[in-house]
Amino acid sequence: MVFSVKKIEENEKKFHLQRIYYSFFPYLCARKKTTLIIHPKKVNSMNEKPYVVGMDIGGTNSVFGIVDTDGHILKTGSVKTQQYTVFEDYVNAICTALFPLILEVGGIDKIRGFGIGAPNGNYYKGTIEFAPNLPWKDVLPLARAFSERLGIPVAVTNDANAAAIGEMTYGAARGMKNFIEITLGTGVGSGIVINGQLVYGHDGFAGELGHVIVERNGRLCGCGRKGCLEAYCSATGVARTAKERLEQSKEASLLRAITDRPIESKDVYDAAVKGDKIALEIFEFTGKLLGEALADFVAFSAPEAIILFGGLTKSGEYIMKPVREALDNTVLRIWKGKVKVLVSELKDSDAAVLGASALGWEA
């Protein structure tokens, strides 16, 4: 008998996707949903709506895509999040960019629902609430705003949770039931999966690991607290560390040549590749803090793996080596050598868009 490797991989994807949808059952019940959790193929056969929209709202960009029942992203687009200081203008900009893509796949009647991953997204309420890295500092009815504009059901979750769903369905966490997804972008987010289910807590906000304190009375974080992990180990945190190091030292560095704009984390990476001592020290400092924090995270959920996702992971071993070393040096002995630290296997935009799109089938 000849087996098709491609077919086996497709079936494996579908199996994991189905498992994720079933894992949402208790949360959908909590939202007073009565619809049965079913595979998107079955949804499609009943009402001929073969697509959903998934969107990841980031502090810099909002990336969206139209996804079919096999998890293929058919159309994509993006909008600069920070360009819109008025929430209603942002909603209009997204819809304006999304409408042509919807028309290309047959119109709004072909769209089952819309899933959104957003910082401080509340799965139970469909809101975003006081997100520190977004231009709008309030409780905003995200799901309702898009549902009214598009005329389709909309569901919202935390952006890191969406990335975790995407990772469990299509990426490095396939087959895992206990893992933590850490997103390292403009901020630091996390999606915690225990026994195959995302942890939301009683109010929908569980898993804000980016806002654990790693330095008492340390840097001011965008959330208003001092010393949060996000203030040090995000891409913006790396840039802040670079600024501080250059101010505190007179040592030569390639970073000093950047005078026409603020230093970014990518500049630190470029300098590290060229052997710049200060840049290498910045990665060592950042990785050590992150690894020590991960050792603490292991203590409450005993994950099989911690998966790092986002722009900062593109720095490769400059960040990963000190992270692994710090985790290994500080984790409790009973977990020593048991927890893998992995880099996401998905493109930055794909993981969150695919994860958010899973919500669209049951919105």
Q: Give me the pLDDT at residue 26, please.
A: 38
Q: Give me the pLDDT at residue 349, please.
A: 63
Q: Which of 210, 278, 271, 273 is nearest to 246 (CA)?
A: 278
- What domains can you pick out in the chain, each with its CATH number? 5-169+349-360 (3.30.420.40), 175-345 (3.30.420.40)
Q: Is the pTM of this model over 0.95?
A: no
Q: What is the mean pLDDT of the chain?
A: 87
Q: Give me the pLDDT at residue 22, please.
A: 39
Average pLDDT per 10 consecutive residues for the chain, totaling 363 residues? 40 45 40 36 60 92 92 93 95 97 96 93 93 88 96 92 86 94 92 94 91 96 95 97 96 96 96 98 98 97 96 94 97 96 83 85 79
Q: Give me the pLDDT at residue 359, please.
A: 86
84 phi and psi angles, rounded to 5 deg: -120, 100
Q: Do the bridges between strand 305-309 and strand 340-343 make them parallel or antiparallel, or are there none, so unpaired?
A: parallel
Q: Which residues contact 238 (CB under 8 A, 6 or more apart)?
A: 265, 268, 282, 283, 286, 312
Q: Give me the pLDDT at residue 47, please.
A: 56
Q: Give me the pLDDT at residue 245, please.
A: 96
Burial of 313 (0-12, 13-18, 19+ CB in 10 A): buried
Q: Give me the pLDDT at residue 258, please.
A: 96
The DSSP element (H or E) to which 129 belongs, if any, is strand 127-129
Which pLDDT tens digit goes with each residue over 237-292? 999 999 999 999 999 999 999 999 999 999 999 999 999 999 999 999 999 999 99
